[in-house]
Amino acid sequence: MNFEDLRISKQLINALEDIDIVEPTPIQQKCYPRIVAGADVVGVAQTGTGKTFAYLLPILNSLEFSTQRNPRVLILVPTRELAVQVRDEAEKLAKYKSFRIKSVYGGANINTQKDDLYSAGCDVLIGTPGRIYDIAMTGVLRFASIKRLVIDEVDEMLSLGFRPQLEQIFEILPQKRQSLMFSSTLTDEVNAFIGKYFRSPETIEVTRRCTPIEKIEQRVYMMPNFNTKVNFLYKILADAEEYPKVLIFVESKKIADLLFDRLNEKFLGRVGVTHSNKSQNYRFNAVKKFEDGVFNILIATDVVARGIDFANISHVVSMSPPENSIDYIHRIGRTGRADKDGVSLLLVAPYEKARYEEVRAIAGSNVSDLDMPTDVEISNLLMEDEKPVVSHKIYIKAPSLKNSGGAFHERSAKRQKTNSGGLKDKAKRKRGR
């Protein structure tokens, strides 16, 4: 099947050809006719299967030119990076159409965003729930014209605590609208959300055989501790030809900064880092330098696994198994895209084996447990959370306070003087002289 078979307009096909996309992915093939027909749709597919275009193509194909100020399409995403990415992808598709596509998100000046929406107007609005709602409450943004609502990466949005903002937005949206939702997983929380806000939606799920996980070579290395893992990275990343573009996932912002300091010292000018504690400009610059090839190594937390679509990632490195095993699939989905093979490296310490077993259960068959290279230096230096916890047992029983009679303190010599009494006693002593 090609895009002509889906009856997509010539303008969109020309835009797709400009970015070298010649045929739809399975999720796009299945979603397009149902979205065009006006059905509420729940699309479920792994990261890297083309979910963004699965809703952008039918929306932009049927959207007509308008000069009205308020948006007709609202797209909600969990992160500012994803807001920018979806906006950029929509602008690529709308290259030969006259649509006003805007994105709003936290961390940027809200007054600037309000002025832009008010003065220029908007056809398609993309943004994070908190910022969308804040602008709507000022009266600058009105939802009366919304015909289509898209919630992208809804499972991640709910896990990040955006449910209250989503519910507030639903309260001010028109009842007559088409609702589309896309997710990598269908959790109980997601199903409950669908049941409350969607009208008999059609669930379109792309099965595992259609997803890129089996194209990814997954290598697993057992290593004693974090510092040995860093020594392993020193060895492999020294070969920039073998590892030309590497995305490294860590479990916390603290570890991200620590690893950045270590790798940047070794590979100066080749390493970037991004996480939620970094400023908006810092994060965008780090991502842009990675995309442009200035950095060939980027360290990130799991939020980025859902947020940004990187091109040509040669290797994904997980410094540890994620706490939520499904995040492993989102991590490795950064490589092996667009019919290309990819490589994933998972580094596992002994205290992380329980998490690894959960990952192993969903990782598919293309997994190899490999020995650590013999020329990697094994470090005996442990991180604080790797050190064994030593408990000191108290053998002396604490005295009971039940019949202790209270505390006793000997008076100092200064305070042992006899009380001289009050004014009456002093008067008596004077009369007796």
Has residue 366 got a pLDDT over 60?
yes
In the sheet that 297-300 helps form, which strands lie side by side, from edge to edge?
Answer: 271-274, 297-300, 246-249, 315-318, 342-348, 216-222, 367-370
| pLDDT score, position 327 | 85
Say yes or no: do domains 4-210 and 212-378 share a fold.
yes
Q: Which residue has the higher pLDDT, 403 or 321?
A: 321
Q: What is the C-alpha to C-alpha distance for residues 376 and 388, in angstroms, rounded to an integer?
A: 24
Has residue 371 got a pLDDT over 80?
yes
Has residue 212 got a pLDDT over 60?
no
Q: What is the pTM of this model?
A: 0.74
* Domain residue ranges in the chain: 4-210, 212-378
- Assigned token pair, 91: 């602008």
Candidate ranges 290-304, 390-404, 406-420; pick with highest mean pLDDT: 290-304
Element (DSSP H or E) covering residue 300: strand 297-300
| pLDDT score, position 184 | 79
The backbone torsions φ and ψ at residue 59, rounded to the nearest 5 degrees and listed phi first, read -65, -50
Q: What is the pLDDT of residues 337-360, one digit of tens each?
A: 655 678 999 999 999 999 999 999
DSSP 212-255: GGGGEEEEEEE-SSHHHHHHHHHHHHT-TTTSSSEEEE-SSHHH
Q: How far is CA 228 from CA 104, 225, 234, 376, 380, in A?
A: 42, 6, 10, 8, 8
Q: Which residue has the higher pLDDT, 363 or 211?
A: 363
Q: Could you give the 3-state DSSP secondary structure of residue 386? A: helix
Q: What is the pLDDT of residues 36-88, one digit of tens each?
A: 999 999 998 876 778 899 999 999 999 999 999 999 999 999 988 899 999 99
> Mean pLDDT lowest for which of 77-81, 210-214, 235-239, 370-374?
210-214
| pLDDT score, position 216 | 87
Q: Locate tokens 């330098």: which residue?
A: 289
> For domain 4-210, is the CATH number 3.40.50.300?
yes
| pLDDT score, position 208 | 47
| pLDDT score, position 76 | 97
Are 326 and 184 contacting, i.e. CB atoms less than 8 angstroms apart?
yes
Q: What is the C-alpha to C-alpha distance for residues 197 and 238, in angstroms, rounded to an integer?
A: 51
What is the CA angle 50-53-55, rounded to 5? 115
The backbone torsions φ and ψ at residue 136, rounded to the nearest 5 degrees and listed phi first, read -60, -35
| pLDDT score, position 254 | 93
Longest CA span, the chain: 126
- Assigned token pair, 427: 């008067």
- The predicted model gives 214-235 an average pLDDT of 94
Has residue 287 got a pLDDT over 50?
yes
Q: Which residue has the higher pLDDT, 284 or 295?
A: 295
Helix axes 110-120, 129-137, angle to 10 degrees: 70
Q: What is the pLDDT of residues 155-204, one digit of tens each?
A: 888 888 889 999 999 999 999 999 999 987 788 888 999 988 888 899 99
| pLDDT score, position 415 | 58
State the CATH class of domain 212-378.
alpha beta
| pLDDT score, position 211 | 42
What percent of the chain is predicted at pLDDT more than 90?
60
Q: Report the mean per-residue pLDDT for the chain.
A: 87
Has residue 418 got a pLDDT over 60?
no
Has residue 21 got a pLDDT over 80?
yes
Q: Could you give the 3-state DSSP secondary structure of residue 176? A: coil
What percent of the chain is predicted at pLDDT more than 70?
85
Model confidence band, residue 277 (pLDDT cutoffs 50, 70, 90): confident
In the chain the first and final C-alpha atoms are separated, in Å, by 125
- The predicted model gives 255-280 an average pLDDT of 93
Q: What is the C-alpha to C-alpha distance for residues 410 and 38, in angstroms, rounded to an integer?
A: 89
| pLDDT score, position 375 | 92
Q: Name the nearest CA neighbour of 234 among 347, 156, 312, 327.
A: 347
Model confidence band, residue 209 (pLDDT cutoffs 50, 70, 90): very low
- Measured on CA atoms in the order 181, 207, 245, 56, is the torsion positive or negative? negative
